[in-house]
Structure 1
């Protein structure tokens, strides 16, 4: 199983900053049940999942996108169904393709250089502890380009480390029957979106000059590592099964 993961050494100062800022923000996460049914579809435990702490996440089975503004809201829930408290954990909310995460209450944006490969946006929510049998819900603001497909991913790691204990997604939201003339478009979890509306033309391909295929991407990757100073976080993704 390929999971969303990070490798390499993270900047201690950066992690400390994120933890300090998030923990001092007003508490906007809540434990109340959301009226929309939730689902852990597309989720599975990570290699660092402890035996007595059963961490899972849930996404609503249905969301609604405003056709004019392309705005939507999502409730992301993290649960501890185990028999012991979780201790410090971090929930991340990451957007892919046509789905862009614009805000998560009480959480900090993930810097662009540290986003998972292929993603366009993300927020990190540091949780000091999640007691056994408890859950927390986070209100997520997002946009969804209905001319594209869109996915969301919820990885959970131990503390501010890179040890993955759970990951949901990247799982798609979508509509199999678009409603371009309606004010809103309902999207279902686990459904690939069927784009509608005027399709954006593909970018014109520039004349190829310089090194052969494969050389330039590797060179750019090496340059990125140098710019980040060796503290970059590399992620890989898996498709929904």
Structure 2
């Protein structure tokens, strides 16, 4: 058995549809709960959600980027002790989140490459808390981020946003920076900048209908939550 904590993948055709239909254009600078879903029932009167920016920008030289992750309590009662995880996948690596603690590699969810846990003593009704996230994004890969909001002991996940992708369908390798959109699968430019790299066997031979199947698989695999043993 893997030394990492188990990551349960849940989903359905409905979840896949949700992930697909939530992709809408938004004004620059807006935040979104795109790709988010309630999982376990929160305490009465508590309604927790998260927000990510609709757009981020990646420096083409350093691959550095920054974003803000926000957790909100849209309910009528205080949350009590909770925690939010900020986890990177594939080409997106979370480097630092001030005020949060790095998650040990053995405790990361399966498939993730980095993460931080942000304990919150209490989130008042109607309140929110934001975290500055420093990250890198390898533009020759896809990249995803996930924000689970859990009970303090990690036994319940009240809300989970992602893993949701950032990406662009119009790479700009010769520009100083590449803008990426939330909810968009990255189409990385090849080293020469003229064609997309092949990331799978026979990728260029896939029939037209396979695009829809790929979206469906991406949607159904997008809901997970990490379970950890309560701390002593």
Task: Tell me the TM-score normalised to structure 1 length.
Answer: 0.69
Which position in structure 2 is the counterpart of 1:195? 188
Q: 1:151 aligns with which of 144, 157, 176?
A: 144
Q: 2:177 aligns with which of 176, 181, 184?
A: 184
Which position in structure 1 is the counterpart of 2:127? 134
Which position in structure 2 is the counterpart of 1:207? none
Which position in structure 1 is the counterpart of 2:63? 70
Which position in structure 1 is the counterpart of 2:230? none
Give the match's secondary structure for 2:106: helix
Shift of 1:201: 9.3
Give the match's secondary structure for 1:197: coil
Kept after mapping to 1: 8 A contact 2:58/2:177: yes
Correspondence list, 1:35-184, <5 A: 36-184=29-177
Kept after mapping to 1: 8 A contact 2:188/2:197: no
Give the match's secondary structure for 1:113: helix
Which position in structure 2 is the counterpart of 1:227? none
Shift of 1:162: 2.2
Aligned residues: 175
Shift of 1:200: 8.3
Kept after mapping to 2: 8 A contact 1:126/1:160: no
Q: Following superposition, which runs of at least 4 residues in structure 1 exceed 4 angstroms of deviation? A: 199-202
User: Which structure: larger Rg?
Assistant: 1
Shift of 1:52: 1.0
Query: Aligned partners of 2:60 and 2:93: how far apart in 1?
Result: 15
Query: Aligned partners of 2:74 and 2:198: how far apart in 1?
Result: 47
Unaligned runs of 5+ in 1: 8-34, 203-236
Task: Tell me the TM-score normalised to structure 2 length.
Answer: 0.71
Give the match's secondary structure for 2:169: coil
Shift of 1:42: 0.3
Kept after mapping to 2: 8 A contact 1:169/1:238: no
The answer to whether the aligner puts 1:239 opposite 2:226 as a matched pair is no
Structure with greater proportional strand content = 2
